[in-house]
Amino acid sequence: MCRKSTINKYLYKRRKTYKVICGGEKENVTKKNKKKTSIKLLLFKCFLQVACTNWKRTLIALNYDEPYPDPMSFKSNWVHRFNRFKLLREFPIPERKAKLKHYTKFLFVRDPFVRLISAYRDKMLNYDKYFYDGYVRVILQRFKKQRYLPVNYNVARKKGLRPSFYNFIQYILDPRTQTHAFEPHWSQMYRLCHPCLIEYDLVGHQESLQEDAQELLKMLKLENDIKFPPSYENVTSVDSVMDWFQSVPLEDRRKLYRIYEEDFQLFGYRRPTELLDD
């Protein structure tokens, strides 16, 4: 079987998997869905920690006239400040329905546990004021019993005040945390993209990002006009995930899996038996 046929087979299987699990369930998405829109007849849900910056770069490039600029010419800080993309809910209801019916709808997902590791590295180890004030301080006080913490996040960082990965998992498992919606960087993906409400045309995986992105560009007849930026991913192997979870007790791993189980099942990720079984 040629490589292209193999890619198409896996993309079709992923799409079929989430449709089967959803059982054909349909609801009114015109009020619930928060996906973003751009020109070129695209509807895209950007998951934080899933190559979001490079997708924004690509969509920004498509907002220009041909020949499209190189997506990598846009600096990441500027990309995240770019505010020309509108939320679907900002359009009148008839226009929302038309976009959902006629636009190409796609999203890219990531292994749920690897996504958690990425969120921890980015937001718990390299936190800014927002994450320090809203999350890091809470975690340090609650699970490291550190009562007297600096008010300024820069002072805290210089002192090396950071929660451990297990502290982060404890925070997610804490019943007090689960009474509120999770922060989007570690929220369940299905809660953010409503796969049982939206019939996506393509569900790509971070683990096969370049191949799946190229397949999407072919669907849109753009493969000769623009190139998706190359990505470097440093946390993907089973061994590295095992290393991160060594500090997490087995029972807590199982509780964590139950929280993200729908993400694993809906998006075609296997149950990580090496983490969950005795």
pLDDT profile of the chain (278 residues), mean per 10 = 48 66 55 43 66 85 88 87 80 90 89 95 96 98 94 97 98 96 95 87 89 90 89 64 96 99 94 94
Q: Do the domain assignments include residue 232?
A: no
Domain that holds residue 99: 3-110+188-219
Residue 153 lies in a domain: yes
Q: Do residues 121 and 161 share a domain?
A: yes
Clarify whether residues 68 and 8 are in a common domain. Answer: yes
**Are 169 and 215 contained in the same domain?**
no
What pLDDT, on a 0 to 100 scale, did the predictor assign at position 66?
A: 86
- List beta partners, residue 43: 37, 105
pLDDT value of residue 220: 87
What is the pLDDT at residue 180? 93
Residues 205 and 71 placed together within one structural domain of the fold: yes
Same structural domain, 102 and 154: no
CA Rg value for the chain: 20
> 149 and 75, same structural domain?
no
- Give Dmax over CA atoms of the chain in angstroms: 62
Q: Does 235 fall in a domain?
A: no
Amino acid identity for residue 117 in this structure: I
Q: Is the CB of residue 141 less than 8 Å from the CB of residue 224?
A: no
Q: Could you tell me the pTM of the whole model?
A: 0.82
Residue 227 lies in a domain: no
- Does one domain contain both 134 and 28? no
Domain membership flag for residue 71: yes
Same domain, 23 and 137: no
Domain count, the chain: 2
Q: Based on the domain organization, do 72 and 12 belong to the same domain?
A: yes
In a shared domain, residues 159 and 195 = no
